[in-house]
Structure 1
Amino acid sequence: MLGYILVAIFVFGLIFIGYSALNSININEN
């Protein structure tokens, strides 16, 4: 169960980082 929670947090972190990166690219283009 603990492993599943850690994986969920890890995936959420990757999505958050990717979303932030896309926002930074969009801001730089504008």
Structure 2
Amino acid sequence: FKAACEEFFRNPSKYQRELRSLLTNRFELIG
């Protein structure tokens, strides 16, 4: 998990789209 965090901070633009879609999906499930 720590390695994933380090890679995320090293290259955030790569995961930004996936992270945003994941967050929206989670909020749709909650709401």
Please give the range of the TM-score, normalised by the shorter of the 2 chains: 0.5 to 0.7
Aligned length: 21
TM-score norm. by structure 2 comes to: 0.54
Greater gyration radius = 1
What percentage of aligned pairs have identical amino acids?
0
TM-score by length of 1: 0.56
Unaligned runs of 5+ residues in structure 2 are 1-10
Runs of 4 or more above 6 Å deviation: none
